[in-house]
Structure 1
Amino acid sequence: MPEPTPVPDDPGLTFGQRLKVQRTRRGMTRDVLAGLVGKSGSWVKAVEAGRLQAPKLSMLLRLAEALRVRDLAQLTGDQSIPISLFTGPGHARLPAVRSAVNAMPVLTSRAAPPVGHLRARLDQAWATRHSSPRHREVLGQLLPDLIGDSQLAAHQADSRAERRAAQAVLAEVYALSQFFIAYQPAQDLLWRVAERGMIAAQDSGDLHAIGVASWLMAQAHRDAGDWDAADVVTSHTLELLTRHSDGATTSVAAIHGAMLFEDGYTAARRGETGAAWGRWDAANSVADRLPGTYYHPVTSFSRAIMGAHAVTIAVELRAGGESVRQADRTVSAAIPSRPRRARHEIEQARAYYLDAQPDVALSVLEAANEAAPETIRYNGYARRIILEELDERDGRRQRRASELADRMGLLTA
């Protein structure tokens, strides 16, 4: 009878065994993981075999980032010092959003607002999110009523046309909800909303709604480490969008470009340089055909975002020099969304940190904190850099990281 497959939370596993389990779960070779953390395949093999001791905190954080391990205890086995890397603190308004998602519209007797009214509220909510540094706070205020009213509209729709229109709005409301829920300790709720959004989008038959739901679902799979599932969602959606590319609206064309980039992002995570940049080129061709000032409210896809996407591809490929070149070429001020601009600045910080320029990385993270503190506070990459710098022997860098961590609320999260 075969031996049972070990699991990471088995208390009898060594660090090396835990590392091997997490690596094989992600479908990574030793050489790929080694490349992601700046080591050799033989180093990974030696650690997994127990010939080398568990690495120091800075390398543990790099391994956790590469493997998308959300808690260092999953690698170390030491439950007394959990460090949640990719999950930020729970927002005070998360319970209200959860309650709204879980509510049953069939139990509500009041009349639903018109779909056109809901669409106007949704558009305004996106605009408010992009303009606010405290975007999670404003979404936490708006979402409970918006979720409830949209669920009610879909439930009460009389005609097929009205139902399809209501489901398209509901799908996008669920998309907006995912931006609020992401990186909070609510993975169950995130998946529930993602799946409901996909169901509502498919029920609507609306190409834009289907594209948005698929874009978010592909990200959810990739962030969970299931790259194969992300590939399936991405390839199927691209096939659908390609079929309808002739005469597509601007918003559908933008979704097409966003999905092409997501495919490149996943390829970069795998270390597939040619495929990653090839998909970026294809996405850039789509962006070039969009109006110059156009900015997709959900995906941020636009001409302005392509430089930021190039930084991300280079960073995920661990190309230090190229990532810095891309970071230096891209003007973050061109991105009209505060949270997306802060996200790009975090990617720039990753580029400089990868290129052994920690002071520049900290400066860019400070700018990101100014642009949108609720982006950087919940971002795992920013948290990893700051945690590494808190462990730095250089007292000046350590103090600077400590001050930034304090401003972010990281030390009290």
Structure 2
Amino acid sequence: MDLSADLSTGERIRVLRESRGMSRPALAQLCGRGVDWIKRIENGDRELRSHELLLRLAAALQVHDLSVITGVDGPAAAVPLGRINHPGLPAIWSAVMQRSLGRSGDQPPDPAILQGRVDQTWRQWHTSPHNRTDVGAQLPGLIRDAEAAVRVLEGEQRRAALVALSDVYRLTGQATAYIAPAEMAWVTADRALSAAQDADAPAAIASAAWNLGNILRETAYPEEALRVVTEAADLIRPHLEEAPEDWRGIYGALQLHAAVTAAREGREGDAWRHWDKGDQVAKSLPASYVHPSTVFGRANVDFHAVSVATDLQKSTKALGLADDIDPDVMPSVERRARLWVEVARGHLQRGDRTAALHVMQMAHRISAETVSYTPSARHVAADLWRSAPRAMRAEAGQLAEKVGVATA
């Protein structure tokens, strides 16, 4: 259908939705988002920056050219069907969604050995440039072994197995973000929190809440995300003086989570208030401290300052903060790649597409899978392909192809 060039993106979405006789709840469900999110997009109360969400909307509205929604003139931007595909997902889906309810006759794994395997896989997540593939290969076995241990063991051994199970499901949520169906994301987040609560382990509960907050924020429930991480922080705050370092580490990670969530909602004061709390926690820990799963520590606090400033559209501040960071002090390859994606976003906000392309190429060299499976990175790659300077169009097209953004 022909749409007026004067229509905004939100207005185009509303017209397309109504022309197909589709309700807001139906469209929201297809996109894995809330009804209020669709309403705010259509009314122009929320800017739609995510390339991945644009693709989801286009696929749900049966639009084959993304420019029909964005109204941007230029080459056709083909819309692939479905979500981002990864070959490791079917095996993980099977392990999550087809768990056994009966007791196995096999000897259950020792909880300490099981936890060691989980911890090693978390390290692999942060150090492998192909983390989704490498970790995804380990997850089906870990899920089944942890579930079996919880079904069979009793007492303190069962509590230890529950903590390991919670960690496994948190890692599953990380490794399948943006590639798993929405229902699987919710299942893994809920199981992680339920296992931690059954174990009555405050640090595990807080870690699972951090994970659930990620799901809530990415599915357009920012207020619920803030409530969950704030309650989790309140749960462990009274114990921080005498608690192990990792309790303070997860408390700091919760504050950084809240900072980014508030920034994405444009709440500048709240965003920096939460960031300051995370900064104070980092200062109370050894300079070399890094939380094993969230990688909270001095470097991650500094990285999050760049993210907060970028989400608040303060590109000058974001790039200034990035200039003072030594990325190599961050042990997580995944987090280093995401930092450069944030820097690229800052350059795009200033209209410097040459610099944005350069740092996106750096991000891709550091961790190709992080860039390929992170919506914000795909959005930057798609934006660069559509509007890079003529002299850099070939390089932008090569990056888009590597990331998996359609260029023809």
Structure 1: state its 5+ residue gaps: 1-5, 38-62
How far does the alpha carbon of each residue in 1:316-366 deviate from its partner, in whole angstroms, 9 at most, with x for none? Answer: 101121111112222221211111111111111111111221111111111
The match for 1:56 is: none
Pair 1:142 & 2:138 matched:
yes
Percentage of pairs with the same residue: 29
Q: How much does 1:303 deviate? A: 0.7
The match for 2:377 is: 382
Q: How much does 1:10 deviate? A: 3.9
Provide the rounded CA distance (Å) in 2 between the counterparts of 1:246 and 1:74: 51
Pair 1:165 & 2:176 matched:
no
Provide the rounded CA distance (Å) in 1 between the counterparts of 2:160 and 2:257: 27
Match of 2:325 among 319, 325, 330: 330
* 1:205–1:7 distance in 2 versus 1, CA, 3 Å: farther
Alignment RMSD (CA, Å): 3.1
The match for 1:226 is: 221
Contact 2:49 2:379 in 1 (8 A): no
Worse overlay, 278-287 or 183-192: 183-192
The 5-angstrom pairing of residues 192-271 of structure 1 reads 192-271=187-266
Match of 1:359 among 331, 337, 354: 354
Q: How much does 1:407 deviate? A: 2.8
Q: How much does 1:393 deviate? A: 6.5
The match for 2:58 is: 73
Match of 1:132 among 99, 115, 128: 128
What SS does the aligned partner of 1:106 have? Answer: coil
**Residue identity in the other structure for 1:222:** R
Worse overlay, 254-263 or 228-237: 228-237
What SS does the aligned partner of 2:134 have? Answer: helix
**Residue identity in the other structure for 1:11:** S
Contact 1:315 1:347 in 2 (8 A): yes
* 1:182–1:84 distance in 2 versus 1, CA, 3 Å: farther
* 1:133–1:163 distance in 2 versus 1, CA, 3 Å: same
The match for 2:105 is: 109
The match for 1:26 is: 37
Pair 1:279 & 2:274 matched:
yes
TM-score normalised over the length of structure 2: 0.84
Contact 2:34 2:220 in 1 (8 A): no
Contact 2:353 2:388 in 1 (8 A): no
What SS does the aligned partner of 2:299 have? Answer: coil
* 1:244–1:405 distance in 2 versus 1, CA, 3 Å: same
Q: How much does 1:388 deviate? A: 1.6
TM-score normalised over the length of structure 1: 0.83
**Residue identity in the other structure for 1:25:** D
What SS does the aligned partner of 2:178 have? Answer: coil
Q: How much does 1:394 deviate? A: 3.0
Match of 2:337 among 342, 366, 383: 342
Q: How much does 1:115 deviate? A: 0.2
Structure 2: state its 5+ residue gaps: 1-13, 67-77
**Residue identity in the other structure for 2:290:** Y
**Residue identity in the other structure for 1:26:** W
